[in-house]
Amino acid sequence: MSIRLISAGAPDAAGKALFALEIDMPEDTKTYWRVPGETGLPTELDFSASTGIRGHDQLWPFPLREFSGGYLDYVYFGHTVLPIELNITDPAGTVDLEATLGICSDICVPAQARLTLPASEDHPDAVNALRIRQALADVPLAWDEGSEPAGTVRLLNDGSAIAVEIDSTRLDPASLIVAGGADGPVFGAPQKSPQANLVLLPIMGKTDNSALDGMEVELSFMTPMGAFEVSRTIEAGTDATVDALGQ
């Protein structure tokens, strides 16, 4: 397994430049999405030693949902490219990154690497630029395709799950991932409900459900046009019931 920092080339007129972590792993080895799940290890990126940059945005391709040993995680297997958008203030600066990632095969370990590159490369590697562009194609876009694919998100009164209103003609219900951030609860795979336009996602593990009311969550999902996402706020309880939760 190896990790390296790659670049798509010089920053644009606004000072934005595309870099990426390229993780070369065997096909049966995995690392984790921005919300790793119940057992995964979160990715941590530290750019504080860099010069000539101001801020970064980690861009996450749509992950796989993995159930293993009764637990749910969001993962990437094998060769993985995780794009990063940097704001470059000095092209003569240096991108100096300390990265910590969870890497799992038979066992899970935190892998650490210190990686450096010039903030701007005069002669970028076209192959690396292509790899980054291909990974970007799998990063969910903010939904702007007309009528909304998802409506309200409500907490069930019994606290077992959240109910999400969807338009199944706009998104693939089975692909729906709801995430409340690295410190939030893990929501399980979408399950059918008695209502055709409603899916239920169980709340995994023990959670202070009183903290969920008003929590902002990101809904990520697949469509025939690719991956998209929308933001929603969890609202007060609903009397919906779970149909075949855990099946």
Amino acid at 60: W
Residue 223 phi, psi (nearest 5): -135, 170
Write down the residue that tokens 């995780």 correspond to. Answer: 82
Residue 18: is its pLDDT beyond 70? yes
* pLDDT for res 124: 75
Q: How many Cα atoms are found within 13 Å in the side-chain-facing hemisphere of 125?
A: 11
pLDDT tens digits along 91-140: 999 999 999 999 999 889 999 999 999 999 877 789 999 999 999 999 99
142: its two tokens: 């903010």
Q: What is the DSSP letter of 214?
A: T
Residue 231 phi, psi (nearest 5): -105, 140
What is the share, in percent, of the chain residues with pLDDT greater than 70? 94
What is the share, in percent, of the chain residues with pLDDT greater than 90? 77
Mean pLDDT, the chain, whole residue set = 91
Residue 61: is its pLDDT beyond 90? yes
Residue 54: is its pLDDT beyond 70? yes
Q: CATH 2.60.40.1250: which residues of the chain?
A: 2-139
pLDDT tens digits along 158-210: 889 999 999 999 999 999 999 987 778 899 999 988 888 999 999 987 666 76
- Closest by CA to 187, choosing from 200, 174, 197, is 200
* pLDDT for res 244: 37
The CA-CA-CA angle for residues 112, 59, 165, to 5°, reads 125
Dihedral of alpha carbons 7, 103, 219, 66, sign: positive
* pLDDT for res 63: 98
Look at the domain 2-139 and name its fold. Answer: Immunoglobulin-like (2.60.40)
Residue 243: is its pLDDT beyond 50? no
Q: Integer distance in angstroms from the first to the last C-alpha of the chain? A: 35
Across the beta sheet with 80-88, the strand order is 2-7, 16-24, 80-88, 53-58
38, 150, 230 from 57: Cα distances, Å = 24, 25, 18
Cross-strand partners of 218:
179, 231
Residue 241: is its pLDDT beyond 80? no
* pLDDT for res 3: 97
pLDDT tens digits along 139-157: 999 999 888 999 999 999 8
Look at the domain 142-238 and name its fold. Answer: Immunoglobulin-like (2.60.40)
* pLDDT for res 224: 94
* pLDDT for res 238: 66
207: its two tokens: 């959670």
